[in-house]
Amino acid sequence: MPSEQPLFFGLGNDRLFGMLHVPEGTPRHGLVICQALAEEKLWSHRVFVSLARELAKHGIAVLRFDFRGEGESDLDFEQAGIASRIDDAVRAAEVLLERQPTLTGISFLGHRLGGAIAAAAAARLGSRAQGLLVWDPLPSGHEYLLQLLRSNLAKQMARDGKAPRTRQALIVALEAGETVLVDGYGIGRVLYRELIALELPALLEALECPALLIAAEEGPPKASTAPRAPYARRANIQHASAREPAFWRESKELCGRAPNMTALSMQWLERQWT
């Protein structure tokens, strides 16, 4: 039976919370999961718990963890940025390697913005990073910021029937150092600055290990799963799509699993190791 060990690990003066899923016997491989941000993390949390359990049953040691500023880890959300999250992911990989000394390297799995963070962490980890999986990749931090701000606008509309602070006004406020609220999370200057500079294609360029990017398709599977242009530059980067609901957003469905993305990911991981 695989076991699950909740733990805290240190990074400088801060503590990060993690959950280590240990397979029975010697692990064949290791995987660090970098989840999405803020409410997307909460809505999707159970999918990654199920994924980690499934992988542990197949001999893979998995470390899920909370970035600083999220979950049970130290720092307020406003204090953490992209750079701190990349540091956290690298540290999580080191912790997994320390705790499972038979492993010579690990792979990363990142979801949504966690995909970009996982890509940066994998590049920094060098040869010890053996693979990268990205679920529902976000090509640009700036685009993602606009998605977040849409939530702020929707809240204004729900509250007042209008949105007196337009998206542009919110960006001006962020530029001026104001904290802007999105679903109760404060986006401060650090996260804003680092978010708008984040480009997944550039991060993938620096990657040594193979990667699989899986786009979530909410409708029926499309005939062509041709990669989007910005990602298609390197031979070690593959693309796929999987039919899954947007389990990281509030919906009528209660999603505890992402079976299609899980199956694709496991097939790909197995291929990397054989």
Q: Which residues would be at the binding site for another protein (CB under 8 A)?
A: 4, 6-8, 17, 19, 38-39, 42-43, 45-46, 49, 70-72, 77, 155, 159, 181, 183-186, 250-254, 256
- Please report how close the Cβ of residue 270 comes to another protein at its closest, in angstroms: 25
Rounded Cα distance between 238 and 209, Å, is 11
For residue 267, give the DSSP letter: H
- Please report how close the Cβ of residue 4 comes to another protein at its closest, in angstroms: 7
- Please report how close the Cβ of residue 111 comes to another protein at its closest, in angstroms: 16
Residue 52: both structure tokens together: 């980690």
Rank residues 154 and 197 by Cβ distance to another protein and give the closer one. 154
Angle value at C-alpha 58, between 55 and 60, nearest 5 degrees: 60
- Please report how close the Cβ of residue 20 comes to another protein at its closest, in angstroms: 11
- Please report how close the Cβ of residue 271 comes to another protein at its closest, in angstroms: 29
- Nearest Cα residue to 36 out of 253, 249, 251: 249
Q: Taken in order 242, 248, 252, 258, is the CA torsion positive or negative?
A: positive
Amino acid type, 120: A
Rank residues 154 and 232 by Cβ distance to another protein and give the closer one. 154
Rank residues 188 and 201 by Cβ distance to another protein and give the closer one. 188
Rank residues 18 and 131 by Cβ distance to another protein and give the closer one. 18
- Please report how close the Cβ of residue 259 comes to another protein at its closest, in angstroms: 12
Rounded Cα distance between 118 and 116, Å, is 5
φ, ψ for residue 260, nearest 5 deg: -75, -40
- 228 CB-near residues (< 8 Å, 6+ apart): 139, 239
Rank residues 64 and 231 by Cβ distance to another protein and give the closer one. 64
- Please report how close the Cβ of residue 65 comes to another protein at its closest, in angstroms: 11
Residue 188: both structure tokens together: 């401060």
Rank residues 24 and 72 by Cβ distance to another protein and give the closer one. 72
Rank residues 90 and 187 by Cβ distance to another protein and give the closer one. 187
Distances (CA, A) of 76 to 28, 54, 186, 188, 200: 36, 32, 9, 11, 25
Task: Report the half-sphere exposure of 271 (CA within 13 A, side-chain side).
Answer: 12
